[in-house]
Amino acid sequence: MFFFLSYKIKNRPSFFVSTGGALFAIPWFFYIRTSPDVLIFLLALVGYVIISFESISKVSRVCILQVIFSLALCQVILCFIQSFLPNVAKDWYEYNWLRNGGRPYGIFQQVNLLASFLASGLACGYLLLMQEKRIYRQYVIITGLAAIAIILAINQSRTGWIGAVAAILLLNIFFITSRPRQCIEGTVAMCLAAAFGIWIVQHVSVLINGQHWTLSREYINSNHDRWAMLTTTWKMIMDKPVTGWGYGAFESQYIHYLLDHPQLNVKHSSIIPHPHNELLFAWVQGGVIAVTGLLLMAAGWIKFFINAIRSGAVNTGYAVLIIPLLVHLNLEYPLYQSFIHLGLFVVLLRLADTRELSQKKDVSKAQKNRLMRFSGAIIGCIVVVYGIIGLYANNEITRLERHELAAFPVSPPWYFETQRERSNFDSMIALLVDYNTTRSEQDLALFIKKATPWLDYGVDKNLLVSMITILRYRGDNEEAAKLYAEYSLIE
């Protein structure tokens, strides 16, 4: 079905995106057991191919921008609560102010994911401002843009900053001649708001447990870790440039590579599950085939961008909206780790294709379009059902974790598969919790049986410490020494 649909769009830039996506997924699919995220990626890819057949009117495009901008503003409200009302945030969202340094993450559980979403919302709001004719609505939008800019400053994500600045700068280039007042007022408001947010970070403190804490963070360790992981990943690629190292085990492979090459003298302050660059990540895992697919998808967006430039500033603006997410891909984790970001990426990529705005719809294709809509509805239902099951599983696992995993089932229910990695990890910790109560040697044996293959593709400091302690207790000092060598690289 996928290749049939791809063939139908062979004369459009969408063909580059769909074909590149297929190439990107081919080597990944062979590791579906250890890296099931490929199914999420393929679902998003098929969804993109289907909606690429649907024409989106100018009114619908504006409505989509309004929805994204509104969702970003909802995150702004939540972020103010997380940063400045820590007790409320802890009760409502289990937000730990001290662990996060007061940096808000909204609903995303990760500060950079929030920042990229806000940067995308900022770009959408700015494009709305460029198209809005009514003065009072323009100032409402500018107020919203300023609020987002404040939170981006408080969030302190350089990825979010780069994405937001790049998108707004490009939008200004294309609109400054036709919308000079909106560009100047909107940009000045965002700059002043960002400056105010930076002042808050440097000078405002929050009272936590009777002690005042500021929001400012340091970047020295982050800079060192990023450079080390990029250079080490590149060396790994040069060792296997054609085939790659395989999917689902980068954490473990990275650590073992450092152990096998002590001359690199690299240590990290945390686990490295991803090199913070999707191009390198695709190459190191899937080799030439995967990186070729990724480059084809990039070529598709470039083609969208070129076509949009030829058709006016507004169309170009739609092609620019995806830039914050493209920046995220090159500096942070993959988008398929967040359903919201992946869905947003698909929608913004579709909006970048503006060719149909100047074309009349062919009535003879109505039947085919109904088939596309039906297929899209099926995929939508699958996503909704999966999301409901995943949400239920998440709530159940969270409930068990709140009770220190004392009642974690020996045989986890089927729906825990939607949270497989978290469920597997918790099942191992539950064995240690049970051992502390029962002193059952069977718990230790089962823990080692589960943890040994888990450590082949994942790394966790606490799990390593537990394994080392148990192995020493059981007299297996040689294996304990090997694991301690791994632990020392991330201490």
Residues 6 or more apart whose Cβ sits within 8 Å of residue 90: 96, 97
DSSP symbol at 268: -
64: enclosing H helix or E strand = helix 58-84
Query: Collapsing DSSP states into helix, strand and coil, what is residue 412?
Result: coil
- Report whether 90 contacts 113 (CB < 8 A): no
Q: How confident is the model at residue 358 (pLDDT cuts 50, 70, 90)?
A: very low
Residue 20 reports pLDDT greater than 80: yes
189-223 burial by CB neighbour count: b if 16+ within 10 A, else e?
bbeebbeebeebbeeeebeeeeeeeebeeeeeeee
Q: Where are the domains of the chain?
A: 2-219+275-368, 384-488
Q: How confident is the model at residue 224 (pLDDT cuts 50, 70, 90)?
A: confident
Which tens digits make up the pLDDT trace of 287-304? 999 999 999 999 999 999
Which tens digits make up the pLDDT trace of 405-416? 888 888 888 888
What does the DSSP assignment read for 420-460? HHHHHHHHHHHHHHHHHHH--HHHHHHHHHHHHHHHHH---
Q: How many residues does the chain have?
A: 491
Q: How confident is the model at residue 221 (pLDDT cuts 50, 70, 90)?
A: low
Which tens digits make up the pLDDT trace of 163-216? 999 999 999 999 999 999 999 999 999 999 999 999 998 888 888 877 788 887
Q: Which residue has the higher pLDDT, 314 or 488?
A: 314
Residue 124 reports pLDDT greater than 90: yes
CA end-to-end span of the chain: 49
* Closest alpha carbon to 262 in 422, 464, 485: 485
* Closest alpha carbon to 54 in 9, 19, 20: 9
Which tens digits make up the pLDDT trace of 381-436? 776 787 788 778 888 888 888 888 888 888 888 888 877 888 888 899 999 988 88
* Mean pLDDT, residues 463-469 taken together: 88
Q: Which of 169-173, 242-246, 333-337, 363-367 is least confident? A: 363-367
Structure confidence at residue 372 (pLDDT): 59
User: In this prediction, what percent of the chain has a pLDDT beyond 70?
Assistant: 90
Q: How confident is the model at residue 73 (pLDDT cuts 50, 70, 90)?
A: very high
Q: Which residue has the higher pLDDT, 359 or 388?
A: 388
Cα–Cα dist 145/454, whole Å:
45
Residue 128 reports pLDDT greater than 90: yes
Mean pLDDT of the chain: 85
At residue 401, what is the residue type? E
Residues 6 or more apart whose Cβ sits within 8 Å of residue 313: 130, 174, 175, 178
Q: Which residue has the higher pLDDT, 282 or 268?
A: 282
Ramachandran class of 272: left when φ > 0, alpha when ψ lies in -120 to 50, beta otherwise? beta
Q: How confident is the model at residue 363 (pLDDT cuts 50, 70, 90)?
A: very low
User: In this prediction, what percent of the chain has a pLDDT beyond 90?
Assistant: 38
Nearest 5°: phi and psi at 207? -85, 115
Residue 466 reports pLDDT greater than 70: yes
Q: Residue 87 burial by CB count (10 A; 0-12/13-18/19+): exposed, middle or buried?
A: exposed
Residue 3 reports pLDDT greater than 60: no
